[in-house]
Amino acid sequence: MTIKGHTLSLKVDDRYHNTSLSHFLKAEVSASKPITHFWMEHQKIRLNQKPAHHAVKVSTGDQIIIDLFETEESDVTPEYGELEILFEDEHLLIVQKPVGRPTHPNKKGQIGTLANLVAFHFQANGEEKRVRHIHRLDQDTTGTVIFAKHRLAHAILDQMLSKKTITRTYIAITEGLFKKKKGTIDAAIGRNKHHAVRRRVSPNGQNAVTHFQVIGLNTHVQMTAVQLQLETGRTHQIRVHLSSLGHPLAGDTLYGGLRDRINRCALHAKQVEMKHPLTGEQLTIDAPLPPDMAELMDNMIQ
């Protein structure tokens, strides 16, 4: 597979001789049947320099060229605002989510979300496309969020997330001093029947695993800075797990944190590590700590 700009080129080898084009594309680039159907309907895919048609079979040595460029009506209202871009190319966009902005709208026409800023960014660059977020962060959480710029990138990134080949590292500042320098929290998370928003550790909940390592302590104010990585992605996972240890996030009043030092949950999605979904390039994308958390971190000692 080779990629140049929006053009994806593939050559069929002996493994796929006399199999369907749909099967080949599913196996090689994670293209579902709806994606392949879209490419054919919009004449985006050529087999040996000719438009591909449904049910066609491929042979060893066949050359397949796909134009990944898409023009779509945005499903999100564009909103002007500052967007901190950490990485961008023809296939994906990684940005820093600021505090106080939800990741995406919950209803048509809603503004004030990160997705609205991304929609405006696309519009300003003459890119007519949908906004496709791969994962999300809570409204008060800052840091890296990944967006796909076309349907194939979306499909591959979703698969990478499912297979846990995207590593997301978080920084949190918690109440109290940790006794252990590092460890793993393996505790299922479920809904709290007494509260519509809160989650709780529950044996009947969904499997949830969080790894943590202490990176700083402040004995004067009794706070700990920890670095975390998730094996699962449950709602409020870090917040619930840390609270279950008796160390809620600073500022997280929903789970027992105090707001005497910071006025929101002290949680930041610091880094994303992954292979580029199309080129295979190894990416390590860092998001700088926002000022409120950076100020707290300045007083931490290892």
Position 167 scores a pLDDT of 95
Which residue intervals of the chain are DSSP H helices? 21-29, 33-41, 114-124, 151-162, 237-244, 291-298
pLDDT tens string, the chain, 302 residues long: the values are: 888 888 999 999 999 999 999 999 999 999 998 999 999 999 999 999 999 887 789 999 999 999 998 888 888 999 999 999 999 999 999 999 999 999 999 998 899 999 999 999 999 999 999 999 999 999 999 999 999 999 999 999 999 999 999 999 999 999 999 999 999 999 999 988 878 889 999 999 999 999 999 999 999 899 999 999 999 989 999 999 999 999 999 999 999 999 999 999 999 999 999 999 999 999 999 999 999 999 999 877 75
Q: Does 138 participate in catalysis according to the annotation?
A: yes
Return d(Cα 38, Cα 32) in angstroms, integer.
Answer: 10
Number of domains in the chain: 3
> DSSP of 159-216, one letter per residue?
HHHHTT-SEEEEEEEEES--SSSEEEEE--EEE-TT-SS-EEE-TTSB--EEEEEEEE
Query: Is 260 in the same domain as 187?
Result: yes
Question: Which residue out of 138, 140, 252, 292 is catalytically annotated?
Answer: 138
Query: Is 78 in the same domain as 104?
Result: yes
283 occurs within a structural domain: no
Return d(Cα 106, Cα 263) in angstroms, integer.
Answer: 24
- Which pair of tokens denotes residue 90? 């023809």
Range of 151's domain?
A: 70-163
Identify the CATH number of the domain in which residue 172 sits. Answer: 3.30.2350.10
Boundary of a domain, candidates 163, 197, 230: 163
Query: Is 263 in the same domain as 177?
Result: yes
Position 256 scores a pLDDT of 95
Position 194 scores a pLDDT of 78
At 19, phi and psi to the nearest 5? -105, 165
Boundary of a domain, candidates 163, 182, 198: 163
107 occurs within a structural domain: yes
Position 72 scores a pLDDT of 86
At 124, phi and psi to the nearest 5? -65, -25
256 occurs within a structural domain: yes
CB 153, CB 142: distance < 8 Å? no
Boundary of a domain, candidates 147, 163, 179: 163
287 occurs within a structural domain: no
300 occurs within a structural domain: no
297 occurs within a structural domain: no
First to last CA, the chain: 46
CB 227, CB 167: distance < 8 Å? no
Query: Is 46 in the same domain as 100?
Result: no
Torsion angle defined by CA atoms of residues 157, 40, 108 and 98, in that order, rounded to the nearest 10 degrees: 30
Torsion angle defined by CA atoms of residues 77, 80, 86 and 92, in that order, rounded to the nearest 10 degrees: 30
Identify the CATH number of the domain in which residue 42 sits. Answer: 3.10.290.10
pTM above 0.85, yes or no: yes
Return d(Cα 99, Cα 72) in angstroms, integer.
Answer: 29
Return d(Cα 184, Cα 235) in angstroms, integer.
Answer: 18
Q: Which own/partner contact pairs does 154-162 have at CB distance under 8 Å and 24+ positions apart?
A: 155/30, 155/31, 155/32, 155/35, 156/29, 156/30, 156/277, 156/278, 157/92, 157/277, 158/134, 159/30, 160/274, 160/275, 160/277, 161/134, 161/135, 161/233
301 occurs within a structural domain: no
282 occurs within a structural domain: no
Position 202 scores a pLDDT of 92
Query: Is 181 in the same domain as 263?
Result: yes
- Which pair of tokens denotes residue 129? 């496309």
Return d(Cα 17, Cα 58) in angstroms, integer.
Answer: 6
Position 74 scores a pLDDT of 87
Position 302 scores a pLDDT of 59
Residue 290 per-residue DSSP state: P
